[in-house]
């Protein structure tokens, strides 16, 4: 869709609304006049009297509609709040025009960000009661009641964890960018071991160097590691000796005595065996993810998985027998060839296994995936909605509660991903990263360190090289970039007067 912005440059905000309301469209920001038979939108922002006003006029398939939204200039208190509120009315004006054309009211209304629970938590931290926040989500943003409930539950979980955090609390992430094969829906930066087995050993050597140098920085700053998460990719693509090598390196270079959880994303059941499980159990891993995505062998074949549903059951039983008390299992709603009844059968099968965590993802149609490139048919929005509603009802009735949620671009139906947990089995790491509560120091291929200043909320990132061969070749640059962690903490955290004790940084 051609889009003309007047009075602002909020391209990302407009793009978010476009993808939410017209998922088949892509933005083409232009200065040109509207052509005949073109889908077109004009999004204006200006000031009229005591208000900042946004107006969107959309023409889609010959139908034209207008949407308006405004905010009092008295609320534009500072630069941050001004930007937030102006983008909000721009998005709401677009949303109102789009609803008139499509007749569709997304379950998350005009909310487009990936962290709706963080928005709700921020409202409550500014003094709004939970009741007023619920009302704002319903009335101002048009969020459906059941999504408001999910959002509030996740927001409260995040606020509870935030209260427990000290200024120097962090989590560690290690990215292992290898998988046995690449799934049809996957856009993660990972290599199938069929093609990249020769890269694993040099990758591990580079990773050990990054772990060693990063550990020195974390110790110097006296940062407190509360959680470790090894993800990917599929970390258990490594053999048991290689896996032990990574975990041992973490213990050798970081002080993990206060670690509350140690998670490994085992993921694919065809990569799990007793030797690897023993390595993890003996080294203090407390939480394992086994991710079937579906329990239909037909759907597994359609998405490129080379294992059966029986392999999932076998891997689960083996993991329990080794002594793991917390297991997470992932499912995806909206996979190719899946049906509502098929998804229900999958969830019922997992429910019988009784894992401590079940994570329900909605298929996200990202660029570069086989599904997108090949135009593979997938369940429609109505079917995906039925899948998610069934999961919500069954999990809540079975004693699971939502503890974190997030949304993504190109997600089927504009829905969400939700982590469900039994009481006492929430993952520190998942809440911390989704609600951006503390620093995540990330190492490995494609890893992204997120530095968080707790008193101001300031966030900065350090990105590692994406692909294994790039990571290996650029390891000196990767290690050098980690030096910014010290600069950030000394300038943004340790020297903050009035909240944290001043530390000598000479």
The CATH architecture assigned to 169-491 reads: 2-Layer Sandwich (3.30)
- Per residue in 196-210, pLDDT (tens digit) is 789 999 999 999 999
Task: Give the pLDDT confidence score for residue 115 in this predicted structure.
Answer: 93
Task: Give the pLDDT confidence score for residue 32 in this predicted structure.
Answer: 74
Judged against a pLDDT cut of 60, whether residue 156 lies above it is answered with: yes
* Band of pLDDT at residue 499, cut at 50, 70 and 90: very low
Count CB neighbours of 222 within 10 A: 11
What is the homologous superfamily of the domain 1-104 according to CATH? Ribosome hibernation promotion factor-like (3.30.160.100)
* Band of pLDDT at residue 368, cut at 50, 70 and 90: low
Determine the Cα–Cα distance for residues 268 and 236; give it in Å rounded to an integer. 8
- Per residue in 26-46, pLDDT (tens digit) is 899 998 767 677 899 999 999
* Band of pLDDT at residue 500, cut at 50, 70 and 90: very low
- Per residue in 277-329, pLDDT (tens digit) is 999 999 999 999 999 999 999 999 988 888 899 999 999 999 999 999 999 99
Mean pLDDT is lowest, of 161-165, 245-249, 348-352, 497-501, for 497-501
Judged against a pLDDT cut of 70, whether residue 356 lies above it is answered with: yes
Judged against a pLDDT cut of 50, whether residue 132 lies above it is answered with: yes
Judged against a pLDDT cut of 60, whether residue 373 lies above it is answered with: no
- Residue ranges of alpha helices (H) inside 295-380 are 297-302, 309-322, 340-353, 370-374
Task: Give the pLDDT confidence score for residue 43 in this predicted structure.
Answer: 97
Determine the Cα–Cα distance for residues 32 and 39; give it in Å rounded to an integer. 13
Structure tokens at 293: 């995505």
Judged against a pLDDT cut of 60, whether residue 387 lies above it is answered with: yes
Question: In this structure, are residues 203 and 234 in contact, taking their beta carbons and an 8 Å threshold?
Answer: no
Place of tokens 């490139």: 373
Task: Give the pLDDT confidence score for residue 80 in this predicted structure.
Answer: 84
The angle formed by the CA atoms of residues 146, 103 and 131, to the nearest 5 degrees, is 30
DSSP string, 62-128: TEEEEEEEEEEGGG--SHHHHHHHHHHHHHHHHHHHHHHHH----TTTT--SS-HHHHHHHHHHTT-
Mean pLDDT of the chain: 91
In sequence order, which residues have a C-beta less than 8 Å from that of residue 8 and are 6 or more positions away?
A: 43, 45, 86, 90
Question: In this structure, are residues 217 and 486 in contact, taking their beta carbons and an 8 Å threshold?
Answer: yes
- Per residue in 327-343, pLDDT (tens digit) is 999 999 999 999 999 99
Could you give the percent of the chain with pLDDT greater than 90? 78
b/e per residue 7-35 (b: at least 16 CB within 10 A): bbebeebbbbbbbbbbbebebeeeeeeee
Question: In this structure, are residues 186 and 131 in contact, taking their beta carbons and an 8 Å threshold?
Answer: no
Count CB neighbours of 321 within 10 A: 10
Question: Which position has the higher pLDDT, 68 or 500?
Answer: 68
Q: DSSP state, 414? A: G
Judged against a pLDDT cut of 80, whether residue 214 lies above it is answered with: yes
* Band of pLDDT at residue 506, cut at 50, 70 and 90: very low
Task: Give the pLDDT confidence score for residue 418 in this predicted structure.
Answer: 97
Judged against a pLDDT cut of 50, whether residue 192 lies above it is answered with: yes
Task: Give the pLDDT confidence score for residue 127 in this predicted structure.
Answer: 96
């Amino acid at each position: 869709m051609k889009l003309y912005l007047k009075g602002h440059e909020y391209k990302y905000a407009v793009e978010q609304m476009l993808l939410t309301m017209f998922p088949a469209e892509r933005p083409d920001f232009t200065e040109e006049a509207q052509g005949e038979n073109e889908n077109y939108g004009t999004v204006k922002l200006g000031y009229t009297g005591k208000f900042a006003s946004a107006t969107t006029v959309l023409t889609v398939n010959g139908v034209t509609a207008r949407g308006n939204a405004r905010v009092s200039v008295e609320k534009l208190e500072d630069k941050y709040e001004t930007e937030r509120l102006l983008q909000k009315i721009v998005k709401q004006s677009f949303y109102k025009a789009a609803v008139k054309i499509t007749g569709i009211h997304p379950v998350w209304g005009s909310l487009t960000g990936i962290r709706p629970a963080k928005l709700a938590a921020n409202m409550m931290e500014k003094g709004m009661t939970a009741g007023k926040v619920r009302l704002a989500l319903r009335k101002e943003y048009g969020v459906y009641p059941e999504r408001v409930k999910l959002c509030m539950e996740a927001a409260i979980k995040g606020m509870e964890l935030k209260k427990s955090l000290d200024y120097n609390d962090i989590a560690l992430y290690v990215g292992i960018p290898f998988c046995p094969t690449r799934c049809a829906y996957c856009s993660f930066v990972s290599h199938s071991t069929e093609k990249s087995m020769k890269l694993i050993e040099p990758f591990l050597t580079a990773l050990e160097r990054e772990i060693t140098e990063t550990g020195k920085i974390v110790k110097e700053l006296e940062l407190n590691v509360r959680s470790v998460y090894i993800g990917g990719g599929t970390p258990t693509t490594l053999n048991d000796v290689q896996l032990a090598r990574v975990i041992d390196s973490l213990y050798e270079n970081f002080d993990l005595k206060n670690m509350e959880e140690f998670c490994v994303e085992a993921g694919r059941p065809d990569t799990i065996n007793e030797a690897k499980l023993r390595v993890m159990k003996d080294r203090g891993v407390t939480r394992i993810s086994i991710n079937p995505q579906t329990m239909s062998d037909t759907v597994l074949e359609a998405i490129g998985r080379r294992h059966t549903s029986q392999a999932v059951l076998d891997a689960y039983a083996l993991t329990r027998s080794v002594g793991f008390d917390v297991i997470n299992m992932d499912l995806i709603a909206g996979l190719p060839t899946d049906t509502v009844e098929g998804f229900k059968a999958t969830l019922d099968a997992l429910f019988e296994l009784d894992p401590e965590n079940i994570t329900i993802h909605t298929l996200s149609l990202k660029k570069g995936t086989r599904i997108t490139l090949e135009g593979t048919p997938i369940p429609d929005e109505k079917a995906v909605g039925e899948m998610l509603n069934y999961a919500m009802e069954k999990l809540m009735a079975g004693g699971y509660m939502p503890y974190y949620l997030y949304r993504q671009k190109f997600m089927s139906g504009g829905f969400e991903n939700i982590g469900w947990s039994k009481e006492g089995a929430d993952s520190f790491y998942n809440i911390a990263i989704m609600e951006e509560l503390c620093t995540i120091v990330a190492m490995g291929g494609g890893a992204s360190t997120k530095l968080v200043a707790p008193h101001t909320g300031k966030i900065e990132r350090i990105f590692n090289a994406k692909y294994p061969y790039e990571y290996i070749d650029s390891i000196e640059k990767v290690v050098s970039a980690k030096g910014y962690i010290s600069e950030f903490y000394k300038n943004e955290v340790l020297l903050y007067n009035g909240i944290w004790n001043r530390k000598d940084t000479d």
